[in-house]
Structure 1
Amino acid sequence: MTSSSSHALLDNASHRDLAVVTTAGAQWGDGVMGCLVVPSEFRAVAAHYPIVFRRDGQTGRFAALALFGFEQGENLFLAGDRWDAAYVPMAHAVQPFLIGRTRDADEVPQVHIDLAHARVGAPGGQRLFDDAGAPTPYLAAKAEQLGALDAGWRATPAFLAALEHHGLLEPFTLDVPLAEGSARSLVGYHIIAEDRLAALDGAALGELNAQGHLLPIYMAVAALGRFADLMARRGRA
């Protein structure tokens, strides 16, 4: 992520020749510990990353995150100029593009771009529009991804509310061994409380299933197995 931003509505007049770097690298904003994820992508996320939940200290609301490392600035999936996983969570993959909204909730969301992002305008980038001003396949794919992410954001509050309603989140601490023999504690996160999930009666499980929440809950549980993979990556780093 960049320290500053300059968001603009993307259009083929102002941004006809604009290009965006598509390779991975810390210099392009990929040196991050994790990113927000939405329940609709939990199955894909769980194949590669641990999923945890964090409560905002100001609002008290939870958010779901995929972890790429154990400390700020650490991304254990960076391998030179590529990302060493078949799936990159949408909130990170769409950068430097953003969802733009007007005050009219019924209007179709617009594609915005952060012109201050390191990926924008750097040499060797992917063009957003062709010579005729039509979106390139790259931009079309990003716009589709933004649409999926937008739908995911809209569905997330109901999912998180259901977790809290059924008491399915519990604090989580993990000791991460360091090379010199000491350990670092990963704190401040929550995970799905498996014992409480197992204790839910048929009515509660049926309700969660009918609301579309049960599958992402089980995917979040399964994703905890990825902590072993993440620690193995740490050991090889």
Structure 2
Amino acid sequence: MKTLLFYDSVVVLNRDTHRDLHLKPQDNLRFAASTNCVPLALVEFGDVAREYPIVFARLPGGLVPVALLGLRDAENLYLNDEGKWDARYVPAFVRRYPFVAVQDNTAPDKLLVCMDEQFPGFNKEEGERLFDENGAETPFLKNALAFVQGYQNEAQRTAEFCREVEQLGLLNEMSAMAELKDGRKFRLDGLWVIDEAKLQSLSAAAAVDLFRRGWMGLVYAQLLSLGHLRVLLDRTAQRSGEAPAAPADDAAVAAAESGSVH
């Protein structure tokens, strides 16, 4: 999984180089069409769990919670033919585009504000200016960067949560497989989920610690979100013009929680 996903050409935002740049909002989110999962911040779990499966993926920087958007590589089942997002909640990773905060290779504790210069909304005539004539950030850019900073602030807490559930031994590797009526099969490997049996076997002290840190609710949000694997199966079938060979049922969802779906 590519860390920055649909960011194609990331450059540092510069008040001199980009002084005349405008951003014209786009009426679609096609840039995310080939993305089958996006990273999440903990603050999003409540909203995301209502519409998407939440699983964990291993990236070079460690374990990361992600919203699963499709069962096949390079397919986003929440994006329709017009490029509109087909869900009430759009993950923050998508909404912050085309801006992003990136770690400075020369100073690990420093973050650089960057942008994807390939974003088609960037131009020098239409839309919102990023900087004024004096090179100062416009209110539009300040709001956009505040959103990016807020997302980044959540990253540390999210990483801490991931380390904790891993250290407690709560994770199982999940293998998800879907089969359509015509026999085509789609398999997802390399993803992890919280195992409810392992959760229930925690010591009282560890369980209380999760609760006091506000993390027990997030754990159960992840578990409950796996019911949306059925939604992905149905969307895969609809996208392919087929019906599922065997619709996912409660047993299949239970299998997902224990580590595999067939």
The bucket for the TM-score relative to the shorter chain is 0.7 to 0.9
Residue equivalent to 2:77: 76
Deviation at 1:92, TM superposition (A): 2.3
TM-score by length of 2: 0.75
Aligned partners of 2:71 and 2:125: how far apart in 1? 31
CA displacement at 1:140 relative to structure 2? 4.4
Q: Read off the aligned partner of 1:64 and give its amino acid letter.
A: P
Secondary structure of the structure 1 residue equivalent to 2:122: coil
Q: What is the CA–CA distance in structure 1 between the aligned matches of 2:124 and 2:181, rounded to whole Å?
A: 37
Task: Note the C-alpha offset of 1:104.
Answer: 8.4
Moved over 6 A (4+): 122-125, 130-133
Preserved contact between residue 22 and residue 124 of structure 2 (Cα < 8 Å): no
Alpha-carbon distance change, 118 to 178 in structure 1, aligned in 2, over 3 angstroms:
farther
Specify the alignment match of 2:11 in structure 1: 7
- Answer whether contact 1:96 1:120 (CA < 8 A) is retained: no
Match of 2:95 among 90, 93, 96: 93
Deviates more, 1:127-136 or 1:165-174: 127-136
User: Is the contact between residue 22 and residue 126 of structure 1 (CA under 8 Å) also seen in structure 2?
Assistant: no
| Structure-1 residue corresponding to 2:159 | 157
The Cα of 1:234 is off from its aligned counterpart by 1.4
- Superposed counterparts of 1:67-216, under 5 Å: 67-79=68-80, 80-100=82-102, 103=107, 105=109, 111-115=113-117, 117-121=118-122, 126-129=127-130, 135-137=138-140, 139-216=141-218
Bigger shift: 40-49 or 4-13? 4-13
Deviations 1:22-77 (A, max 9, x none): 33343x34321111112221111112111111234x67x32211111112210011
Q: Please tell me whether residue 220 in structure 1 is matched to residue 222 in structure 2.
A: yes
CA drift of 1:4 comes to 4.2
> Counterpart of 2:245?
none
- What secondary structure sits across from 2:205 in the alignment? helix
Take 1:15 and 1:222, find their aligned partners in 2: how far apart are those partners?
47
In structure 1, C-alpha distance between the alignment counterparts of 2:125 and 2:86, rounded to whole Å? 21
Matches within 5 A, 1:43-54: 43-54=46-57
TM-score by length of 1: 0.82
CA-CA distance at 1:146 after TM superposition: 1.0
| Percent identical | 23
**Per chain length, whose mean CA-contact separation is higher, i.e. which structure has more relative contact order (CA < 8 Å, sep 6+)?**
1
Structure 1 residue 13: deviation in Å?
7.5
RMSD: 2.9
Q: Are the counterparts in 2 of residues 33 and 75 from structure 1 also a CA contact under 8 Å?
A: yes
- Check whether the contact 2:77–2:235 (CA below 8 A) recurs between aligned residues: yes
Q: Distance in 1 between matches of 2:232 and 2:26?
A: 24
- In 2 relative to 1, CA 15–236 (structure 1 residues): closer, same or farther, beyond 3 Å? farther
Kindly provide the CA deviation profile for residues 121-162 of structure 1, in whole angstroms up to 9, marking residues without a partner as x: 26997424487766354x444323212211121112211111
- Separation of aligned partners in 2, 1:126 and 1:8: 21
Q: Which secondary structure state, in structure 2, belongs to the residue aligned with residue 66 of structure 1?
A: strand
User: 1:164/1:100 Cα in 2 relative to 1: closer, same or farther (>3 Å)?
Assistant: closer
**How far apart in 2 are the matches of 1:210 and 1:14?**
46
- Over 3 Å counting, the alpha-carbon distance change for 1:218 and 1:21 in structure 2 is same
Q: Distance in 1 between the 2:22 and 2:47 partners?
A: 31
Distance 1:10 1:210, change over 3 A: farther
